[in-house]
Amino acid sequence: MSNVLLVGTHWGDEGKGKIVDVLSENASGCVRFQGGHNAGHTLVINGVKTILHLIPSGILRDNVTSIIGNGVVISLEALETELNDLASKNISIKNKLFISEACHVILPTHVALDIAHEKSLGKSSIGTTGRGIGPTYEDKVARRGIRLIDFYNIDNLRKKLIKSMDYHNFLLTKYYKESPISLESVLESLTPIFENIKDHVCDVIPLILDLNKKSNIIFEGAQGTMLDIDHGTYPYVTSSNTTLSGLISGTGIGVDKVNYSLGITKAYTTRVGHGPFPSELHDQLGLDIAKWGGEVGATTGRARRCGWLDMKILNKSIELNRINGIALTKLDVLDNLDLIKICIGYGDIDYDTFEVDGLEYIELKGWKSSTVGITNYKDLPENAKLYIKAIEELSKTPVVMISTGPARNEIICLKDIFAT
């Protein structure tokens, strides 16, 4: 059996959800391993759009068991909302969704701390999703976090919550001058949700290994390489390892279980939130690409910043994630352009002003015709093929999938990824 790691090569929103959905036709398991409901993964099937935040993108397939690994931080309220949304679409999660009992839980105080901290940073804020992701990972590392497993024993949970929420409320009131949050309100809101989902909570490692005996597994990365806490554009990053290393710590599986690493790369680059973005377009063209690409955050509804494909980052990402092949998404968004640039290098980034030295680009001719919905490589316009070839040459990595629209069937597959 063969397993695939899918990882965003830039700052997230590369179209990971769509590619997971396409590949999950031939998989038995789909596993999330880091992040939380800061992610927004969009699937479009038969004209129906579903945005998943916490639940793996394999959930829409009957043949797939969806698993949330220990590296994911769980908001029980967000999980409930997402499950209700799936139920309203008649998508069953019975025997199809399993969540690691070692997942850390996002508390309402984490959300309040995230928002208060961002406010205190003023102009130098990170631009987080405000979902409490950072403070929850902080508590995990500080060994005062609350895990799903703690919900089995309410007395013990209460004791642990007193300790951690005392600390949170101290910070909220004394440091940030915000209102405290009551322990009882947290217990009251979270424990009934846990009761509803507890049949889905277990030790997921044996399950992953068992599924893998029968069929292929997809490991679904969230965010992107440049948002990695260690390797990204720190401090303008998220609080987890979004790269290959996050998969290992966030599931407990061995690196030998990763047979193919697939980098999901948008045909241009976007970023939502603050922080450096060397190839950003600050002009009308950036706004036009955002419009053509529908570049609005799937989680927060914020406008995404747009720019040219950043090859320096792609190459770093290939190295960090041991990427074997690239799934190039949103090629169709560039259909209207006369000229397309690829950023091939720059010097230092100033982390105060976000300015960069010595930006270098190569220029290619656009194809000026529609690629929407093309499913055969040979039907692509010649200049689109040259653009893809340039990416392959500059990255020394094959482009193995090309996405030509948001829908499941708008895809060119050049390789059977699982046949590796």
Question: Catalytic residues, which ones?
Answer: 13, 41
Q: Which two tokens stand for residue 350?
A: 């100033």
Q: Does 328 bind ligand GDP (CB under 6 A)?
A: no
Cα–Cα dist 238/62, whole Å: 32
Residues in Cβ contact with 321 at an 8 Å cutoff, skipping those fewer than 6 apart: 5, 7, 9, 225, 243, 244, 261, 263
Q: Which is nearer to Mg ion, 71 or 252 (CB)?
A: 71
Beta strand extents in 86-224 (DSSP E only):
97-100, 104-105, 201-202, 217-220
> Which stretches of the chain bind Mg ion, using CB under 5 A?
13, 40, 298
CB atoms within 10 A of CB 133: 25
405 binds, among ligand GDP, ligand IMO, Mg ion, none (CB under 5 to 8 A by kind): ligand GDP
Q: Which is nearer to ligand IMO, 127 or 381 (CB)?
A: 127
Residue 191 burial (CB < 10 Å; 0-12/13-18/19+)? middle
Question: Are the C-beta atoms of residues 327 and 400 closer than 8 Å to each other?
Answer: yes
Applying CB under 6 A, the span of 217-225, 355-363, 379-387, 396-404 interacting with ligand IMO comes to 217-225
Residue 43: strand, helix, or coil: strand
Applying CB under 6 A, the span of 146-154, 357-365, 399-407, 412-420 interacting with ligand GDP comes to 399-407
Q: Does 17 bind ligand GDP (CB under 6 A)?
A: yes
Q: Does 56 bind ligand GDP (CB under 6 A)?
A: no
Alpha helices in 222-327 (DSSP H): 244-251, 284-292, 311-321
Site size toward ligand GDP (CB under 6 A) is 22
Applying CB under 6 A, the span of 16-24, 97-105, 134-142, 184-192 interacting with ligand GDP comes to 16-24
Among positions 20, 148, 197, 227, the unique one binding ligand IMO when judged by CB under 6 A: 227
Q: Tell me, what amino acid is at 31?
A: V
Cα–Cα dist 125/383, whole Å: 41
Binding site residues, ligand GDP, CB under 6 A: 8, 12-18, 40-42, 44, 294, 298, 329-330, 332-333, 403-406
Q: Which residues bind ligand IMO (CB under 6 A)?
A: 8, 11-13, 38-41, 126-129, 131, 133-134, 222-224, 227, 238-239, 272-273, 298
